[in-house]
Amino acid sequence: MSYSKITRTFTIAFLFAFALIALALLVWNKINMPASMPVEVKGLKGEAYEKNIKVVSHSAAVIDTPEPSEELLEDETIRIGLQYLSSRGYVDPEQRDVYRNYDIATLSALGDDGDLIALSVLGEIYSGTDKWAQGLEIWQKASMFGAVNTGMALAGWHSGQSRVYAELDAELSRQALIEGLGWLEFVELRGGSPSLQSERKRILSESQTALSSEVLKAGRERGIAIYEGLSLRRKEHGLAPFDNTIPEDAKPFLNMVSESKL
């Protein structure tokens, strides 16, 4: 088999693995997630509702799955596209398997240095446990270091909590929705994600909070605040400002796996 065919075969397998991991995470969390997860939105934890709160999955959006088309691309174009996705948090499943052998202390040390694979595994460890708040912090840290898939995950988690609170506390439900919309706006500001538009459409269609112009505006403003806050954290870590540009050489591959063209 030629190198070109091997590369294309690997690419399809790589992308297909995203789908399997996302599905596995979704099923696992629905089975194992604890029955008490108070929402944390702008300092509000909602402890009063812990005993009876209905929990929703918050890991389904950790990896939004790009699906390849029939289009054939040059090997170098594929390599550049995969490299770009990796820099945005879409880690190689085989590399993630290697990192699963590391202990939490090692993963934490690597994560503190910006290793997105380590942060991905850490988030996986905390997901669906009573340490879910640490999982959210891991996703935020990964977003600070450049990942956008964790921003998608946070958008999905907060919008899910909004639905949970819809029948319990209208204001908490509204704040959670704004937080979810804020993370979508953050991802938009970072250059987008393969399934950003479909995730936004899903969140808006499933919302049980009135989608007034004020709520949508508040979501956009919250996204800007999130972006600015994480930018400040990057500066404190001695990191360069976010690079939100999409390399021209990566666009053919991204157009192949994305729902909208760049």
d(CA 123, CA 117): 10
pLDDT for 51 beyond 70: no
pLDDT for 14 beyond 50: no
Closest Cα partner for 41 from 144, 173, 234, 228?
A: 173
The pTM for the full model equals 0.72
Top pLDDT among 208 and 139 is at: 139
Q: Pull the structure tokens for residue 196.
A: 């950003």
d(CA 116, CA 91): 7
Residue 251 pLDDT class (50, 70, 90 cuts): confident
Provide the pLDDT for residue 108. Answer: 96
Q: Distances in Å between the alpha carbon of 227 and those of 13, 21, 186, 196, 230?
A: 33, 28, 6, 16, 5
d(CA 215, CA 1): 55
Question: In angstroms, how far is CA 79 from the centroid of its own chain?
Answer: 22
Model confidence pLDDT, tens digit, residues 197-239: 888 888 888 886 778 889 999 999 999 999 999 999 999 999 9
Cβ contact 36:53 at 8 Å: yes
Q: What is the DSSP letter of 73?
A: -
Model confidence pLDDT, tens digit, residues 61-118: 333 334 444 445 677 888 888 888 888 988 888 888 999 999 999 999 999 999 999 9
d(CA 214, CA 125): 37
Q: Distances in Å between the alpha carbon of 131 and those of 34, 73, 135, 188?
A: 10, 43, 7, 29
d(CA 206, CA 30): 18
Q: What residues does each domain of the chain span? A: 3-257
Residues near 15 by Cβ (< 8 Å), separated by ≥ 6? 65, 66, 67, 68, 257
Model confidence pLDDT, tens digit, residues 156-172: 999 999 999 988 999 99
